[in-house]
A and B are shown apart, each in its own frame.
Chain A
Amino acid sequence: AQSVSQHNHHVILSEAASLELGCNYSYGGTVNLFWYVQYPGQHLQLLLKYFSGDPLVKGIKGFEAEFIKSKFSFNLRKPSVQWSDTAEYFCAVNALGDMRFGAGTRLTVKP
């Protein structure tokens, strides 16, 4: 069965630091990849998605992610985080028609 792994459970950064959140999946076929963000007290929002084409995907709020097929990875990056980026981030994979989520990474940005 397909699975999604997010190895960083809690990341604490200072403002202006660079961010990279890891995401690996286990499915070997064609996949659609997503990163979602859940701000405190709010519902899930789509940050970015990859279906095909350029493996470097740019999303909202300065986030980007790179699909590396050989590594089964889709890591999320942001060059300079802000306090407002404090949230929970979920990587998700759609391979067989439904969505599987990683465990989530809680990002805390200190002002």
Chain B
Amino acid sequence: GAVVSQHPSRVICKSGTSVKIECRSLDFQATTMFWYRQFPKKSLMLMATSNEGSKATYEQGVEKDKFLINHASLTLSTLTVTSAHPEDSSFYICSARDLGFGGYTFGSGTRLTVV
């Protein structure tokens, strides 16, 4: 079945630094990938839609300059959290749609802790 690989699974960084999270579709091509953030005891919130070869579409309230998304190929999308602050600490999950599978496959998530 469709597999999405997300790295790293856990990362701890200092305030003010940047962190890059990778999302790869391993056995299918994904023209569109999605980035979600999961707050404690709350649901997943869609942050942005990543489109291969074009700019990402951000949800209202999500800072484009802080959460940089790059979808340079059909199998890779990256989310970079720039100038991270403790309030950015969260669980970030990507997903991609495999048209053959007919659904959305999720990565295993990245636990970001900013200290």
Contact = CB atoms under 8 A, between A and B. Distances in A.
Interface of A: 34, 36, 43-44, 46, 49, 51, 90, 92, 94, 97-104
A43 B92 CA distance: 11
Contact of A44 (B34, B42, B93): B93
A92 B103 CA distance: 11
B50 to A, nearest CB: 11
Interface in B28-56: 32, 34, 36, 42-46, 49
Contact of B102 (A49, A90, A104): A49
A103 B44 CA distance: 7
A45 to B, nearest CB: 8
A92 B104 CA distance: 11
A43 B109 contact: yes
B95 interface: yes
Given A43-B93, A101-B36, 7 more contacts: A36-B106, A43-B108, A44-B106, A49-B103, A99-B95, A99-B104, A101-B45
Contact of B44 (A46, A49, A94, A101): A101
Contacts of B36: 101
A34 B109 contact: no
B43 to A, nearest CB: 4
A59 to B, nearest CB: 11
A98 B49 contact: yes
Contact of A51 (B34, B44, B102, B107): B102
Closest 8 CB pairs of A and B: A43-B108, A103-B43, A44-B106, A101-B44, A101-B43, A104-B43, A43-B109, A49-B103
